[in-house]
Amino acid sequence: MIEAKVMRLDGTVIDVEITGVSFQYDDQFSYLMIIQELTERKKAEEALRLSEARYRLIAENMTDLVCIINWEGYFKYASPSHVTVLGFPAVAYEGRFAGDFMHEEDRVKVRQQLEGMVATKEGSVLQFRFKNIRGDWIWLEGKGSPIFDENGIFEHFLVVSRDNTERLAYEEKLTYLAYHDTLTDLPNRRLFKEKLEQALKEAKHNQAKLAVMYLDLDNFKYINDTLGHGVGDELLKQFVHRVKGCLRKNDVLSRQGGDEFTILLPEIGEEQEVIQIADCIHASFQKAWNIGRNLFKTTSSIGIAIYPTSGTREHDLNISTRAESLSILLGYLSVLVEKPGRVSKSDILKAVKYASKWGMNQEKNRDDSI
């Protein structure tokens, strides 16, 4: 079988495929020749060649990562862009198992997604971590598609992905800002509420105690207005630093807004432990504040609610009013001290017992009124 060019009667030249068979006919050596025109096939082959060249040009110059992976998870093809994004040349991937480059925590999930694509014959968005040449993990996001032949038989996976590390880092930053105070870098009201809800669930499950402290700075508005917002901001930062020095590792200090702060004290043993922390905070404020050229003193009002003494629900422990006003939100507060420096520890413990009894009476009155 050979391919040749022949001329038609009209003078046009066409491609043909010639197949010949020799045999004896009437005692003479003869040939049977079959000539098949190849014009359409040649056009299709040329179109395919040009198409492959175009796709190869695109694949070799695009920044997205393009790879073909077989059913077992081995690379059949990796675009040159891999060296730009991950540092490894494309040839380093071909024939290698994709799982060798993928973070172990992502392998099972991605494998399940790939198998699901074949079952549904539909593509899916993939997100996973791949190791670069420096050994760092790079977040990739893209689309995987199952490729089938004309008979519907699976051939391989086509995965097109891109570096998603910066976008994820930006999203994480936005999430962090949504849950933290920008001035003090403390958890804000929203995050504190979530942590309190979780701590209450754990305390209820473990039959443990927890406490919530409410603090605010006395005369903060006056200081802020007379000495300037810069001094006010620095005062809040130094206030946070002093309070943190009295807390345990798992305690959560949160800024509710303005000069109002709350502290979550999970897993407390005795109520005396809470009093000791409050005492430490009060003692830390005996030292004058030195901000810029300003030297002054101020104290803090402290309110304390203890679970389960003060209630069993999150809103029972939610103190959102100023402690110095002696107001109690929803009637549940185990300790409320207007000026900690003016009372003794015995006074505080008496307040615990009084407020506990008061809270139970409030609950009884509430039940009677329903």
User: What are the mean pLDDT values of the chain's consecutive 10-residue runs (370 residues total)?
Assistant: 80 80 76 76 72 64 84 93 91 93 95 95 94 94 92 92 87 90 93 91 89 86 88 93 94 92 90 88 88 85 78 47 32 34 46 43 44
Place of tokens 């809800």: 197
Alpha carbon distance 112, 108 (integer Å): 6
**Would you say 220 and 232 are in contact if contact means Cβ atoms under 8 Å apart?**
yes
Closest CA relative to residue 90, chosen from 102, 100, 75? 75
**Predicted confidence (pLDDT) per residue in 111-168, tens digit:** 999 999 999 999 999 999 999 999 999 999 999 999 998 889 999 999 999 998 888 8
Of the candidates 311, 190, 177, 186, the one whose C-alpha atom is nearest the C-alpha of residue 237 is 186
Write down the pLDDT at residue 320: 34
Taking the complete model, does pTM exceed 0.75, yes or no?
no
CA distance 332 to 355: 8
Q: How far is Cα 54 from Cα 152, in angstroms, rounded to an integer?
A: 26
226: exposed, middle or buried (Cβ count in 10 Å: 0-12, 13-18, 19+): exposed
**Are the C-beta atoms of 323 and 302 separated by less than 8 Å?**
yes
How far lies 342's CA from each of 262, 279, 282, 298, 345, in Å? Answer: 22, 12, 11, 14, 10
Mapped onto helix, strand or coil, the DSSP state of residue 269 is: coil
Domains detected in the chain: 2-41 (no CATH), 62-168 (3.30.450.20), 185-369 (3.30.70.270)
Find out whether 130 and 166 touch, Cβ atoms under 8 Å.
no
- Concatenating the DSSP letter of every residue in 325-363 gives GT--GGG--SEEES-GGGS-HHHHHHHHHHHHHHHHHHH
Q: In what order do the strands lie in the sheet with 13-25?
A: 2-7, 13-25, 28-37
**Left, alpha or beta for 18 (phi > 0: left; psi -120 to 50: alpha)?**
beta
pLDDT of residue 171: 86
The owner of tokens 């549904």 is 120
| Distance spanning both ends of the chain, measured CA to CA | 100
Q: CA dist 292 to 226, 229, 298, Å? A: 14, 12, 16
The pLDDT of residue 185: 93
Could you tell me if 76 and 68 are in contact, meaning their C-beta atoms sit under 8 angstroms apart?
A: yes
What is the predicted pLDDT for the residue at 247?
Answer: 95
Query: What pLDDT is stored for residue 60 in this prediction?
Result: 64
What is the model's pLDDT at position 330?
26
